Copies of this chain bind each other. A is one copy, B any other.
Amino acid sequence: MLKVKFVPQNKEIEVAIGENLIEVARKAEIFIDAPCNGNGVCGKCKVKVLQGKLDAEKTRHIKDEEWNEGYVLACNAKVIEDVVIEIPSNASAAMHGMKIEDLSGERENKIFENAKKQVLENGMEFKTYVKKDCIKLDPPTIDDNISDFERIKRHLRNNLGYDSVFCRLPLLRKIPPLFREANFEVTITHIPRGHKKTTIINMEKGNTTNRLYGIALDIGTTSVAACLVDLYEGRLIAKASSGNAQIKYGADVINRIIYSTKRNGLAELNHAIIEETINPLLEKMYNDTGISRDEVVSFVTAGNTTMSHLFLGVYPDYLRMEPYIPAFVKPPFIKASELGINVNPETFVYLVPSVASYVGGDITAGVLSSGIWASDEMILFIDLGTNGEIVFGNKEYLMTCACSAGPAFEGGEISSGMRAAGGAIEGVKINRKTYEPEIEVIGNQDPVGICGSGIIDLICELMLAGIIDRRGKLIRDLNTSRIRFDEHGIGEYVVVFKEQYKLEKDVTITEVDIDNFIRAKGAIYSGITTLLNSLGMDFTMIDKIYIAGGIGNSLDIGNSIKIGMLPDVDESKISYVGNSSLMGCYLTLMSEDARRKLEEVSNNMTYVELSVEPGYMDEFVSSCFLPHTDIEKFPSVEKLLRR
């Protein structure tokens, strides 16, 4: 056996000769970012060998200088002797220290209040389906010797009018000692159904009717956000978010699906989301609040269709292959214990229904919370997460489609890209004369990479400063040390020189990165165009645009238009609505009426498959320009560029 040690984590693991370094890191529970799932394509899994040697090849992602310093791609390296490996900070930043969704922020509070208002204004009750009742049973005697379970049934029939009372085995097992310990005064948590039926899901000693909690959870491909809610008042008691631990198996849904087809792959992905992501978030909230898992008796979650499949451990491979068929859109009834989620084991897990293979429950939930279903105005809803999904409509109808935008908006497939965590550059300005940048970094830390909103700003500013042309290529003869070209002639613009912050490497954006990003924004723009065209409509008919998703708070709407990601409409029509999926989960958790509305919405959304829509490919190709091949579509940008 050989020894592999990872720093700065200081973890050591014994491995067999020839083992792949990325697999070794997974075994050691060391996070190495590998968006392409170890195919050698993305170049993100760069690590530094401090001691010993690996069997690795130099690839196009490793520069000569890096190679000499000991950098290799972990996915491409085999262990052949004892080694010490350094994990660069930007490779591990992705999973830990994600920017916590600031649900108490002013903007979110407003969105949250709006969402709640819409529910109430539409005549829907803010009332959850789980109830608590404290009951005092008559203690048994030799003359009144019916069983414990019959005793509670009799009480509920006589005192609360329930003719049928159900419970499951784990609860029955709790009853006999609990009744005696509690002196026959217990609080039941139950779910009334229909007229006179109820199902008991928990039983506690004494009177605990004032403690009733639930979880709303958004499962993003990249990040996961949760809140712990008081089910009586709808108060947010705690919140937590982190990266999705599945990231180590691939950055986007396609790579995850491919990984699921490997031996144990599906189980590993399911374990990563439940045991490595969701349960730690729950633990954190329990620790922060003193609420125990058994008190959490309601659970609503949403994710895209692939995340939904992986969350349930359902094989997702047919999502990826024509004709792109999900196993389910509306999942069956599931208990928390079946999935190993660390809430009360009898809790019903409500997974928000999807619409189609690439329009998931996160979009259904987003439509619910953003109130499109109740709107007279025509609303365009765009979710800019690891993929891009679009909904267009109003209270009369809802059309939806998915764009293959990839993970670029969350920093994926961009060499210095990272998620919106501490150290991410989220805003950039470039001096038009000196070509020097001015950056904003999340958390006032030293910059280690660039997140989605920063990339949008950067590309926009590069374009407006004349550093790149409309194809995204760097202008060769500018007088600045920030532009340079490698041995293959590929150019890059240096945003941060490593010396300034003692970084391991410069933070740059390459022509390849820019090209990747242009394709992503082109996918969104052409998606919007094609969806509207399919209805015989155009941008003038849009009353409002809502942007949701992981691209983050700092999104500059104007710049998003200028690079041609969003249509050139009045900026005031566009607003960022935050994590609308989490909001939708929260509303579903708090209101049975909202849940019914949600199901109605998911049934009534019409899915448009872009790949079979005529003209889509032409539209996409035309959109892969800054802002577009047809500059007349962007009169406001045309003006700026003409100056």
Residues of A near any B CB (own CB < 8 A): 140-142, 145-150, 166-169, 172-173, 175-177, 180, 312-318, 322-334, 338-339, 356-357, 609, 612
Contacts and interface: CB of A to CB of B under 8 A. Distances in A.
A338 to B, nearest CB: 5
A323 B142 contact: yes
Contact of A327 (B142, B175, B324): B175
B176 A317 contact: yes
Given A169-B312, A180-B318, 20 more contacts: A140-B323, A142-B609, A142-B612, A145-B324, A145-B325, A145-B356, A147-B328, A148-B325, A148-B327, A150-B329, A167-B332, A168-B333, A168-B334, A168-B338, A169-B332, A169-B338, A172-B314, A176-B316, A176-B318, A176-B327
A415 to B, nearest CB: 36
A147 B329 CA distance: 6
A327 to B, nearest CB: 5
Contact of A149 (B146, B148, B173, B327): B327
A312 B325 CA distance: 40
A145 B329 CA distance: 11
Contacts of A317: 176
Contacts of A140: 323, 325
Interchain residue pairs A-B with the least CB separation, the first 9: A149-B328, A142-B323, A147-B326, A176-B327, A140-B325, A147-B329, A176-B315, A148-B327, A147-B328
A318 B177 CA distance: 9
A350 to B, nearest CB: 13
A315 B173 contact: yes
Contacts of A329: 146-147, 149-150
Contacts of A331: 149, 169, 172
A333 B165 CA distance: 11
Nearest to A148: B327
This chain's copy number in the assembly: 2
Contacts of A332: 149, 166-169, 172
Which of A175, A324, A332 has the largest number of chain B CB atoms within 10 A?
A: A332
Contacts of A326: 147-148
B150 A328 contact: yes
22 contacts: A140-B323, A141-B323, A142-B322, A142-B323, A145-B325, A145-B357, A147-B329, A148-B325, A148-B327, A149-B328, A149-B332, A168-B338, A169-B312, A169-B313, A169-B331, A169-B334, A169-B338, A172-B312, A173-B313, A176-B314, A176-B327, A180-B318
Nearest to A200: B332
A150 B609 CA distance: 18
A342 B110 CA distance: 55
Nearest to A173: B314
A317 B612 CA distance: 67
A142 B172 CA distance: 48
A609 B173 CA distance: 26
A148 B328 contact: yes
A102 to B, nearest CB: 34
A318 B334 CA distance: 33
A329 B152 CA distance: 12
Contacts of A177: 315
Contacts of A312: 169, 172-173
A145 B318 CA distance: 11
A322 B140 CA distance: 9
A176 B148 CA distance: 43
Nearest to A323: B142
A328 B141 contact: no
A202 to B, nearest CB: 14
A235 to B, nearest CB: 31
A166 B331 CA distance: 10
Nearest to A337: B338
Nearest to A607: B145
Nearest to A354: B147
A312 B175 CA distance: 13
A535 to B, nearest CB: 19
A356 B150 CA distance: 11
A253 to B, nearest CB: 16
A612 B144 CA distance: 13
A180 B321 CA distance: 12
A178 to B, nearest CB: 10
Contacts of A166: 332-333
Contacts of A339: 169
A173 B316 CA distance: 10
A175 to B, nearest CB: 6
Contacts of A357: 145
Contacts of A175: 314, 327
Nearest to A321: B180
Nearest to A141: B323
Interface-central residue, A145, A176, A177, A325, by most chain B CB under 10 Å: A325
Contacts of A327: 147-149, 172, 175-176
Nearest to A150: B329
A338 B356 CA distance: 33
A423 to B, nearest CB: 40
A314 B148 CA distance: 12
Contacts of A142: 322-324, 609, 612
Contacts of A172: 312, 314, 327-328, 331-332
A333 B326 CA distance: 31
Q: Which of A327, A331, A357 has the most CB of B within 10 A?
A: A327
A145 B333 contact: no
A526 to B, nearest CB: 20
Contacts of A325: 140, 145-148, 176
A323 B139 CA distance: 10
